[in-house]
Amino acid sequence: MYNPTAFQEDNIDKLVAFMRANSFATLVSSVKGKYKLSQNRSQADRENVSNTLLQSSDPAAHALGVEMKQNLEAD
C-alpha cells in the first residue's frame, strides 16, 4: 500500500502541503443498500404513512405509498 512520507510526519504543515500538491482517489469495491420502508414501526404507523403518501400529489411520494401498500399486503 502506498504510504507517502508526509503522512508519517508529525508536522501538520507538511501534511497539508502534501495534500494540496497531490490529488488522490478512493476506490470503492462494493456498495450495500438496504430496502427499508418503516418496517421497524407498528402496523398502524406503516398504514398511516402509506395512506398519507398515497394521497400526495407528488408522483414520487405517491409511488412510495404504492410500494409501502404492497409490502403491507404481503405481510
Is 33 domain-assigned?
Answer: no
C-alpha cell belonging to residue 70: 404492497
Q: What is the pLDDT of residue 3?
A: 63
Range 56-72 average pLDDT: 92
pLDDT at 72 exceeding the cut of 60: yes
Q: Say how many domains are in the chain.
A: 1
Q: What is the pLDDT of residue 12?
A: 76
Q: How far is CA 2 from the centre of its chain?
A: 29
Is 11 domain-assigned?
Answer: yes
Cα angle value 67/72/75 (rounded, 5°):
130
Report CA torsion sign: 15, 17, 18, 22: positive
Is 54 domain-assigned?
Answer: yes
**pLDDT, tens digit (0-9, with 9 covering 90-100), for 7-62:** 666 777 877 787 788 876 777 889 888 777 777 888 899 999 999 999 999 999 99
Is 67 domain-assigned?
Answer: yes
Q: How many CB atoms lie within 10 A of CB 23?
A: 6
Is 48 domain-assigned?
Answer: yes
pLDDT at 1 exceeding the cut of 60: no
> Which residue do the cell numbers 410500494 mark?
67
Q: Distance between CA atoms of 24 and 41, rounded to whole angstroms?
A: 42
What range does the domain containing 64 cover?
5-26+38-74
